[in-house]
Amino acid sequence: MELDDEFLLEVCRVKLNGSSLLTLCNSGQFQALTNSGSTRKVVDIAAVLGKSLGLALVDCSASSETIGVLKQVVDLGCCIVLANKKPLTSTMEDYDKLVSHPRRIRHESTVGAGLPVIVSINRVISSGDAVHRIVGSLSGTLGYVMSEVEDGKPLSQVVKVAKSLGFTEPDPRDDLSGMDVARKALILARLLGWRINLDSIKIESLFPKEMGPNAMSAEDFLDSGLLLLDKDIQERVTKASLNGNVLRYVCVIEGSRCEVGIQELPKDSPLGRLRGSDNVLEIYSRCYNEQPLVIQGAGAGNDTTAAGVLADILDILALFPE
């Protein structure tokens, strides 16, 4: 079934309004599967078309609930394309299953949105050039926050502005906890062959446990909790600037160390120069030893994320006879 332009524009309108695609269901142009039979139906289709036609199951959700169906279609020889980080940051067993046919999985948009991060690392690895260090700023939200507090603005104010600009999750603690960056770091580490889980990663949260979602509502966090964090961050910013440095929330994968958190970095380094919501990734290998391979650009946004998913789908299609 092919979707025409008019219908796709209608889809965009519905999503822009924050409505569910289910409201379009009676147009007859597509099926929305919501009940428990949906997995069965997807698997049935994958069984018939997956291996021969290059049908790809595309997961743009942010849910762990898709892992089961993804594993089933992979077993059937079907290709998968993920923007969803959860399936790749579950257990090693799940991961091994999902990547068991490396040619049939693409997940560029899980790290740095549409930035060519995964494809670049895969090329370096496949050429036999061992990667020994990856450093990056992989959260547009935290990148924005850190460069704004550097300019002297209070953290509480910066986070509220970021939220109003749509740069954060509905509950900004989902970004400030560092968990999103940790998932990206885990995906990169596993790409390098590290057999580790999320709980092996050292994660620095920008707020203490007492302000976590289990202890405080999002409103209370925004209205009062955040204010209590201003002083500490401001002191760290000032201390760093006395050394000519700035603070950045970075991911480091090196030696046996995989961690995400605030680091003091030279103002005049690629990471230190980073402004706004751009992502940057530095890859050090045998070939890119003293000077890293650097990839930089918008690492968030609906358009770049969608562009990454689309490029993945077309890349998969190239595997199948013309």
Q: Is 193 in the site for its own copies (CB under 8 A)?
A: no
* Nearest approach, Cβ of residue 121 and its own copies (Å): 9
* Part in contact with its own copies (CB under 8 A); list of ranges 25-33, 78-86, 125-133, 177-185: 125-133
Residue 220 three-state SS = helix
120 vs 157, beta carbon nearer its own copies: 120
Q: Which stretch binds its own copies (CB under 8 A): 66-74, 82-90, 124-132, 166-174?
A: 124-132
Say whether 184 is catalytic.
yes
- Say whether residue 126 binds its own copies (CB under 8 A): yes
Near its own copies by CB under 8 A: residue from 18, 128, 166, 170: 128
Stretch binding its own copies (CB under 8 A), from 4-12, 82-90, 114-122, 249-257:
114-122
C-alpha 234/C-alpha 232 separation (Å) is 5
Residue whose C-alpha is closest to residue 61's, from 276, 309, 316, 322: 309
Q: In the complex with its own copies, which residue's Cβ is closer, 121 or 251? A: 121
From candidates 42, 57, 88, 115, binder to its own copies by CB under 8 A:
115
Task: Tell me which of 51, 184, 231, 267 is the catalytic residue.
Answer: 184
Partners of 5 in beta bridges? none
Cα–Cα nearest to 165, from 136, 141, 135, 195: 141
Spatial neighbors of 146 by CB under 8 A, at least 6 apart, are: 246, 247, 248, 249, 262
Query: Which one among 49, 165, 215, 314 touches its own copies, defined by CB under 8 A?
Result: 314
Q: How far apart are CA 182 and CA 34, in angstroms?
A: 30
Tokens of 125: 């690895």
* Beta strands in 159-308, from DSSP E residues, in sequence order: 202-203, 245-254, 257-266, 278-285, 293-298
The one segment of 131-139, 148-156, 193-201, 292-300 that binds its own copies by CB under 8 A: 292-300
Give the span between the Cα atoms of 310 and 56, in whole angstroms.
11
Q: Which of 192, 198, 252, 307 binds its own copies (CB under 8 A)?
A: 307
CB 173 within 8 A of CB 207: yes
Q: Which residues participate in catalysis according to the annotation?
A: 184
Q: Which residues bind its own copies (CB under 8 A)?
A: 103, 108, 114-116, 119-120, 123-124, 126-129, 276, 278, 286-288, 291-298, 301, 303-304, 306-308, 310-311, 314-315, 318-319, 322
